[in-house]
Amino acid sequence: MLEITDLEKVYSTGDEALKGVSMDVEGEEVVSIIGPSGAGKSTLIRCINRLTEPTAGSIVLDGEDVTTMSKSELRNARRDMGMIFQEFNLVERLTVMENVLSGRVGYISTMQALRRNFPEEDVQRAYEVLDRVGVGGMENKRADELSGGQRQRIGIARAVLQRPKILLVDEPTSALDPETSFAVMELLTEIAREEGIPVLINIHEVELALEYTDRIVGLADGEVVFKGTPDEFDQGA
Ligand code: ADP
Ligand code: ADP
């Protein structure tokens, strides 16, 4: 599904954020990347959709190497990667429904420019997905009227609506209280199982990784220092 081989990232500042990282994600599993601040977790996630340009190595999603794609190939590949962010990245003044439908890059502005309504089938699916993530009935609220937990659920709905091949999740809980964090992690694992979407998640709370993920990749100083199940991690720690 996703296979990362010898990935390196050297920033223009000279920081060697990734020093030859190899790992993979199979279907329908939740894999978490853990490690101290500065380990390279965020850089790794951002290299996969090339929000950050990798310096060397390969990232193969469903048989295609993302690192060598042209801009237009990359645009297509990004539709297959549902991205969920730490700060939710919602558009504050838009409604929940508009935010969720904007999962397709440029969709909102295109629709507004054409003065057209969203196709009925997209709207129907958005209602289903909003229900699925536990925020049914909120579609007409503005994003800035919602709580942090609700906003993250909207972020998840927006990513799921794209029918991605993988969900890439960057620190989904760092802006949330512990109770809400558990609920969001539970939702992500349910989505992996029920929708058959693998999830790669970068998380700094080790206890959340142990509780909710199938496999753990430990990073430190840009290198993989652990790979295994939560049980194996417990025994090693
Ligand atoms: P890339 O090679 O991915 O384009 P750059 O090295 O050009 O990344 O840096 C992108 C931006 O991040 C720059 O504006 C830089 O100032 C900023 N930046 C520099 N150091 C750090 C750091 N340690 N953490 C986060 N951002 C940083
Ligand atoms: P983590 O997500 O594990 O905290 P990061 O991937 O953010 O780690 O950072 C890894 C290393 O790369 C750190 O040394 C950080 O300072 C550096 N770094 C991150 N982003 C940038 C950037 N845009 N420009 C330069 N250095 C960066």
Minimal CA–CA distance to 143: which of 125, 130, 132, 161?
Answer: 130
Predicted confidence (pLDDT) per residue in 67-100, tens digit:
999 999 998 898 899 988 877 778 888 889 888 8
Angle subtended at Cα 208 by Cα 128 and Cα 187, rounded to the nearest 5 degrees: 5
Ligand 2 atom closest to the CA of 39, numbered from 1: 3
pTM across the whole model: 0.85
233: pLDDT strictly greater than 60:
yes
Tokens (6 digits) for 82: 């549902």
Residues near ligand 2 (Cβ within 6 A):
11, 13, 15, 17, 35, 37-43
Q: Please choose from 15, 19, 45 the residue to mutate so as to test ligand 2's pocket, defined by most ligand atoms within 8 A of CB.
A: 15
Give me the chain's average pLDDT, please.
90
59 versus 176: the higher-pLDDT residue is 59
> What was the ipTM of the complex prediction?
0.72
Q: Which helix (H) or strand (E) holds 235?
A: helix 230-236
* Predicted local distance difference test score (pLDDT) of residue 102: 79
Residue nearest to atom 4 of ligand 1 (CA): 52
